Amino acid sequence: MDLFSGSLVFLLKILPSPPVGGVVKDQFLASMLERVEAEARKQALALMPTTGFLSNNDSYLHLGLGEASVADEIAIHWPGGGRQVLKDLAAGKIHHVVQDSNAKPEAPEPPNPLFATMSSMPALKHLEKDYDDFARQPLLPNKHSQLGPGMAIGDIDGDGDDDFYLGRSRGGRRAIYTNAGGGRMTVQSMAPFQGEEIPMLLRHADVRAAAKDWQTFSSDAPFRVPIPSEEELRTMRQLPIETNPPEHTEYRQIIEPFFKRSKTPEVISKVQTLINELLEKALASKGPLEIVHQFALPIQSRALTYLLDVPESEADTYIEWGIHVFHDENGNGSKLEDYLAFSLKRAEKDPAKDFFSALNKATFQNRILTHEEKMGFANLTFAGGRDTVIHSISSIIAHFGQHPEDLQSLRDNPKGLVIAGEEFFRAFMPLTHIGRVCPIETKIRGNKIPPGGRVSLGWAAANFDPEVFDEPEKIDLTRKPNPHVSFGFGTHLCLGAPHARTEAVPGIQRVRAMHSIDSSHLDHQP
């Protein structure tokens, strides 16, 4: 059988004119068979004789034609751009093709660019912080600090078109761009929540100003302060967070004494002892440390009993709830509401000095609190101080497991515990944002908020504002000053802030005393 039967073998050469008095060797350059047609079948191959240092490929192209005896048409695209067409070449032979000097390139096809100028987009200037990566690592192939801006793509508004978020470096502009169709993009400062577009305040200065201005950005809006709405999760107005002064001031005074208990030596001692016991028990186990359920959840639950002055045995009930308290296992009812109603009724029959007994005795505007008001106080106390504390404790422990250098830094500088705690609160902000309602038409950076419209105060975004925090993505345990807004700002400054600090600082102190934390033994996923 003929070796080349049913096939073609090409030797492609570019032969320049020989110089005077010399002999020219064949020059093999990269060439491409743009198209080979035989019996309505097409194929393409490329000839690349050289592939690297001291490396060569075969200078032949071998094309299989199957049962065809003739190649109907062969188009060759030469390196210089010339295009040469050969017709009716017999199979089973070696064809030696020399570039035709008359071969001319075809007219280029109309361009089909991947990108187009968007006239609807405002001019953006990307700025980079001046940082010399090579000063720290001379062998880097490129600067890692200037790979931005980062961009995330997704259908934000649910219209089927891809929108995108364009990040920034310090001093630049970041924004969400929504796809309006037809090549039009719109800068979006609104975020859709349950069908309602809500402007978001993301800058540190804007968030603090709005939080302080309760007349313009009102909290007197039951079920509209949380975003998205919690109407399916609770049946009462949370107090005092969903009120404005002067009602807010009087409501706050009712429960403030219990939150001040976190600063008493008795409670501080109990929390420290609790953390020591739980941490030693957890680390004594041979298996991995599941931070949430073995450590954070028990600390939060038992520390809450100290704060509310209820029997510590009540913590067993809180622990049984897990990290979700609003619905039962089947998604029906509310475990939390059932417990709160039971506890208030129990305190009526057997009053003591605990939180529930105090609510039963409390007055507002010279009257006894209604059942709904008492439930509103209790709901916020439990729901607001549960996942927030669990998240913070878990994140701190996990961070030390992943960054032992920070653990060692605190061993060397124990006076930095408080400063480190504030940095953790800034970086591991559990409450990303909260809503406010504008009673009258309000303008926010060019956006009009109609009367009764909502605006979102982005606590977490404010904590990472590069105009306030240098290198905000970095956890710097020596950061000072640290004007984070993790506990809110202004009138509604979180009542539970002292309690959170009472748990965090002793926890960090106890972890600091440990020899090490092996991140491979940590599981901080809920």
pLDDT of residue 28: 38
pLDDT in the model for residue 141: 81
Query: Hey, which of 140-154, 176-190, 327-341, 355-369 has the most confident mean pLDDT?
Result: 355-369
pLDDT in tens, 8-36: 555 544 333 333 333 333 333 444 555 55
| Distance (Å, whole) CA 389 – CA 397 | 13
- Of 298, 386, 311, 300, nearest to 356 (Cα)? 311
101-110, 434-443, 504-513: range with lowest mean pLDDT = 504-513
Whether 4 has a pLDDT exceeding 80, the answer reads no
For residue 9, the model assigns a pLDDT of: 57
Using the structure block, give the residue that is written with the tokens 């208990």: 261
**What pLDDT score was predicted for residue 168?**
67
Total Cβ atoms within 10 A of residue 369: 19
| Per-residue model confidence as pLDDT tens digits over 322-335 | 776 776 556 555 78
Q: Residue 321 has what pLDDT?
A: 84
- pLDDT above 90 for 114: no
The predicted pLDDT at position 483 comes to 96
pLDDT at 188: 60
- In this structure, of 93-107, 142-156, 321-335, the range with the lowest mean pLDDT score is 321-335
Give residue 118's pLDDT: 63
Helices (H), 154-309: 204-212, 247-260, 265-284, 291, 297-308
Whole-number Cα distances in Å, 155 to 149, 160, 191: 20, 6, 12
Task: Provide the whole-model pTM.
Answer: 0.64
Q: Which segments of 163-246 does DSSP mark as H helices, in order? A: 204-212
Using pLDDT thresholds of 50, 70 and 90, give the confidence band for residue 169: low
Average pLDDT over residues 97-124: 69
DSSP characters over 256-272 = HHHHHGGGSHHHHHHHH
> How far apart (Å, rounded) are the C-alpha atoms in residues 467 and 118?
29
Domain range annotation of the chain: 7-98, 118-130+147-188, 201-523
Please give the mean pLDDT across all residues of the chain: 79
438 phi-psi bin (left φ>0, alpha ψ -120 to 50, beta other): beta
pLDDT at 314: 95
pLDDT at 403 over 90: no
Distance, in Å, from the CA atom of 359 to the CA atom of 312, rounded to the nearest integer, reads 19
pLDDT digits (tens, 9 = 90+) for 29-68: 444 555 556 656 777 777 777 777 777 777 777 777 777 7
Give the distance, in angstroms, between the CA of residue 114 and the centroid of all CA atoms in the same chain.
Answer: 29
Taking the C-alpha atoms of residue 356 and residue 308, their distance in angstroms, rounded to an integer, is 8
Q: Which CATH number fits domain 201-523: 1.10.150.120, 3.40.50.300, 1.20.272.10, 1.10.630.10?
A: 1.10.630.10
